[in-house]
Amino acid sequence: MTTFPSKVATGIAALATGATLTLATPALADKASNTLNVAFAAEPEPLDTYKIAGRQGLILARHIYDGLLYKNLDTGEIVPALAESWEFTGPLTMEFTLRQGVKFHNGADFTADDVVETLNTVITPEYGTRYSISVDWIESVEKLDDYKVRINMSKPFAGAVEMLADALPIYPHEFFAQNGSTGMAATPIGTGPYKLVSQEPGIRYELERFDDHYAGSPKSGATLDAITVRTIPEMNTQYAELMSGSLDWIWRIPPDQAERLEGRVQIISAPIMRIGYIGFAPEAMGGDTPIATKEVRQALIHATNRGAIVDAFAGGASEVLNTACNPAQFGCAQDVTSYEYDPEKAKAMLAEAGYADGFEMEMVFAAMPRPTAEAVAADLAKVGVTLELNEQQYAAGVGKWRAKELPAFFSNWGSYGIGDAAFILSNFFGGGADDLVQDAELTEWLTVADTSSDREERAENYAMAVKKIADEAYWMPMYNFNVNYGLANDLDFTPHPDEFARWWATSWK
């Protein structure tokens, strides 16, 4: 009757020895094989840039595809990429001279047909380009000759050049016409510095350096032979892989964990375009909330100790903001009214506005760390304002905001990673569905700034808008986000504020 346990024990022992003997050692990283091993926590979307919202898929896509232009973030300059040169030939027309001798990954030559086919396809509503803002300014694209195209604009749009800088990639026309979006995603073919050699969509991607990548490319000089990208949803597992050497590059590490990893792996923190904000909605509930009063909004900002919140929860390269845009963005003037932390002043202002006993108000927060929202609520409680705090999925929060049922919404906005105030101000103050301020003056200034091709005029109008938003305290700007990267100790990687990792410019130390 004691046979059972002894059998079990033998079995386990056999299993254990079997395991130690037969297991291969996991592949070692990776300077030797010159392969960069990357992990994302979220699954990349199918690799048709025009349908991608998430940064993971876009990063992969930018290694595979090229745009007509490219923005050098170090100098702020727009530089030639697939287009050799370009000019505005009229208020609504741009002409591009294309580079010759560029090859796609499948060997096809890059010509005007590719530009025409790609752009004319993605602007159709049926194609379903994810962000309409990226293409809705294009009326049509014409071929002038094999290496010359003209873009006819449907409306003045100052962000046009920014958009053409790598956000609108060019696909090989024959393949794209035959296979469409699904085909592109299944077999991505671009002109970029890396080509995709295999993928399990959402799970694993293998990229290989494309040695025929065109000379003179702003993405030239790639040294890594190969890049392997995997999805590992659990951050702790990513840390383990990074420490054991089977990963070389991870990102979006929360500040507290970055601190703990420091010293074991290479940690770098870099500021990005995304900013956190509390939007106030004077228009909410038909304007019948305390938040419709300017002095109340100002008092709420005075009452919130934003400096302490940033230090405690954001860390790294984050700073308190005074503007409804990222200081790194064009047009985001910084000489605006600022509201220092002063709860006594806040109380006095509330009393003057008729809220000496405070009031109650709902605030939804979405895609922000809970402690930051709780800290805001605690600060406001000290001046008598009770926040009814609700954490919701982003979609639910935005839905409520657009339905004008929310006096305050605490979230963040990434401006598509673009360094131009157009991509944040106009969405929230340009008179659209997200604008619950509906300030006619703001809308007018922003319209001028968004459509003018005169840089001075744009800057001037954005500055006026930014100042008024601060004066009126329409927003409580919180802080600019930063991203923590975890890297192999011998990896030489430079982060950029647009959150596009440039692995073509990454090498080993």
Site residues (CB under 8 A) for other proteins? 1-5, 7-8, 11, 19-20, 23-26, 42-43, 45-46, 51, 53-54, 125, 128, 130-133, 181-182, 185, 200-204, 230-234, 236-237, 240-241, 243-244, 246, 367, 392-399, 402, 411-416, 427, 432-434
**Cα separation of 189 and 231, whole Å?**
22
Phi/psi of residue 227, nearest 5 degrees:
-135, 130
* Residue 99 C-beta: closest distance to other proteins, Å: 30
Nearer to other proteins, 343 or 414 (CB): 414
Q: Give 3-state DSSP helix, strand, coil % of the chain, rounded to 5.
A: 35, 25, 40
CB 193 within 8 A of CB 222: yes
* Residue 1 C-beta: closest distance to other proteins, Å: 5
Nearer to other proteins, 394 or 508 (CB): 394
Could you write out the three-class secondary structure of 203-241?
CEEEEEECCCCCCCCCCCCCCCCEEEEEECCCHHHHHHH
Rg of the chain over all Cα atoms, to the nearest angstrom:
26
* Residue 46 C-beta: closest distance to other proteins, Å: 6
Nearer to other proteins, 131 or 508 (CB): 131
**Cα separation of 188 and 105, whole Å?**
9
* Residue 179 C-beta: closest distance to other proteins, Å: 13
Nearer to other proteins, 70 or 416 (CB): 416
Nearer to other proteins, 233 or 287 (CB): 233
Measured CA to CA in angstroms, residue 236 lies from 10, 83, 253, 254, 448 at distances of: 34, 43, 10, 11, 48
Task: Indicate the pairing of strand 408-413 with strand 507-508.
Answer: unpaired
**Cα separation of 254 and 267, whole Å?**
11
Nearer to other proteins, 181 or 329 (CB): 181
Nearer to other proteins, 32 or 395 (CB): 395
Alpha helices in 304-453 (DSSP H): 306-309, 343-352, 370-381, 394-402, 422-429, 440-451
| 37: Cα within 13 Å, side-chain hemisphere | 20
* Residue 331 C-beta: closest distance to other proteins, Å: 18
Nearest-10 crossing angle of helices 294-303, 370-381? 110
Measured CA to CA in angstroms, residue 465 lies from 261, 334, 364, 384, 475 at distances of: 42, 12, 26, 31, 12
CB 486 within 8 A of CB 253: yes
Nearer to other proteins, 346 or 398 (CB): 398
* Residue 221 C-beta: closest distance to other proteins, Å: 30
Nearer to other proteins, 61 or 83 (CB): 61
Measured CA to CA in angstroms, residue 412 lies from 77, 145, 328 at distances of: 27, 44, 16
* Residue 396 C-beta: closest distance to other proteins, Å: 3
Q: Which two tokens stand for residue 481?
A: 């986000």
* Residue 50 C-beta: closest distance to other proteins, Å: 12
Nearer to other proteins, 283 or 434 (CB): 434
